[in-house]
Structure 1
Amino acid sequence: MNDFQPMTVLNETATSGRPWLASLVGTNDGNTIALDLTKFVEGVHYDKGTFLQGRNVLKSGLPLGKISASGLYAPYSGPTSEVQTVTVTGTPTGGTYTLTFSGQTTAAIPYNANAGQVKSALEALSNINVGDITVTGGPHPGTAIAVTFVGQYLGEDVAAMTASGAGLTGGTTPGVTIATSTAGGSASASDGTQTLAGFLLEETAFVPGSTKCGGVLLWQGEVYAAKLPVPMDADDVASTTAFIHWR
């Protein structure tokens, strides 16, 4: 299903619904593009529609790259974010464990913690700020929890966390293991999206189930990297066809 929708760029203020946009420079030169909606992820790149507003909405300011084979645009896949997986073993029935990152150790984390509890424990460390990690999966002990390093650690090969399961009780020799499921570093994509083409200028609605829709690409201008809707480190952008001044 296709959902092409022509868009008109209005003469708005720079921050009207677009806090990532530092000025109106380039907004009148936006290119109309077609987006490959199969590459965008709910909750990350777009907000799901509601009962009253059935269309999903792509977030304004999404960094985009152009897929070489199709000519469609998809999320920019620059330097890879590190993902480390925390697994509680031995089926404990009580107690706590701790995680250590670059010399800083968390407070006690419950044996049956969910993703939110692990996230809060890590963000309480002095070397992890709010927004430096995303945490998914869980709850423990039955399901592993994945910690993705973004924010100041976006695209970096960060130090591996360590864990102590000494406080876990019950089960059979309970413990905690850490595995690096995705190493941070250089871009892993080779389909063209590893090159930054620009940013989605406006929030863009599309019908659920659509595979394509139209949008407007901002390919030149001034951008606040820290205010983009997805974490992005401007210093890590090594390959680009866009003319962006970072603030």
Structure 2
Amino acid sequence: MDLQPITYSESATADRPWLASRHGLDTPLTITLDTALFTQGTHYTPPTLGQPRNVMTAGIPLGRVTATGLYGPWDAAATDGRATFTGVLLADVPFAPGSGRAGAALLWHGVIATAHIPGGLDPTAITASTTQIHFI
């Protein structure tokens, strides 16, 4: 058996066309995502040959699950607490396939261009919010 160490490095550039201002970038909240609540292809991209992790997309609207304190995709019809809009995912989040949780940053204070939110966001559908987000 021939075991060879493999070393690699990667870099990424933040792609946040939904971010309409730098206001609020200095005050994100550290949160934990419940990865089971997100959908592959909608909220994250699956691993590829060159990328061994799932990658959650920045800009996803989020809500907090009352029972666990974990965050999932905001859903106005949810009955688990996620009907309250808490902000958006500030940066892409890589996480291992099969992992139930992932650390992330929540933008809860700032300016968002809703037309550029991944999957879209209709601010008129937000009936409850814990944020200081201004939508344009």
Report the TM-score when normalising by structure 2: 0.88
Where in structure 2 are the equivalents of 1:130-141 lying within 5 Å? none
3-state SS of 1:226 partner: helix
Q: 2:31 and 2:124 mapped to 1: Cα distance?
A: 26
For 2:73, the equivalent position in structure 1 comes to 75
1:232 aligns with 2:136: no
Deviations along 1:28-47, one digit per CA (max 9) or x if unpaired, are 10010000000000000001
1:58 aligns with 2:56: yes
For 2:42, the equivalent position in structure 1 comes to 44
Letter in 2 for 1:196: F
Alignment match of 1:34 (pick from 20, 32, 40): 32
For 2:132, the equivalent position in structure 1 comes to 243
3-state SS of 1:197 partner: strand
Structure 2: state its 5+ residue gaps. Answer: 1-12
Structure 1: state its 5+ residue gaps. Answer: 1-11, 79-186
State the number of aligned residues.
124
For 1:191, the equivalent position in structure 2 comes to 80
User: How far did 1:238 drift?
Assistant: 1.1
Q: 1:233 and 1:57 mapped to 2: Cα distance?
A: 24
For 1:25, the equivalent position in structure 2 comes to 23
Alignment match of 2:89 (pick from 200, 203, 212): 200
Letter in 1 for 2:24: G
For 2:104, the equivalent position in structure 1 comes to 215
Q: 1:207 and 1:66 mapped to 2: Cα distance?
A: 22
Deviations along 1:120-169, one digit per CA (max 9) or x if unpaired, are xxxxxxxxxxxxxxxxxxxxxxxxxxxxxxxxxxxxxxxxxxxxxxxxxx
Letter in 1 for 2:99: S
Letter in 1 for 2:61: P
Q: Percent identity of the aligned residues?
A: 42
User: How far did 1:199 drift?
Assistant: 0.5
Larger radius of gyration: 1
User: How far did 1:190 drift?
Assistant: 1.3
Report the TM-score when normalising by structure 1: 0.49
Q: 2:72 and 2:55 mapped to 1: Cα distance?
A: 15
Q: 1:226 and 1:17 mapped to 2: Cα distance?
A: 15
Q: 1:66 and 1:58 mapped to 2: Cα distance?
A: 17
In terms of fraction of residues, the more strand-rich structure is 1
Q: 1:236 and 1:193 mapped to 2: Cα distance?
A: 13
User: How far did 1:231 drift?
Assistant: 2.1
3-state SS of 2:26 partner: helix
Greater relative contact order, per chain length (Cα 8 Å cut-off, separation 6+)? 1
For 1:94, the equivalent position in structure 2 comes to none
User: How far did 1:210 drift?
Assistant: 0.4
Q: 2:47 and 2:58 mapped to 1: Cα distance?
A: 16
Deviations along 1:173-208, one digit per CA (max 9) or x if unpaired, are xxxxxxxxxxxxxx2x11100000001000000000
3-state SS of 2:85 partner: coil
Question: C-alpha root-mean-square deviation of aligned residues, in Å?
Answer: 1.1
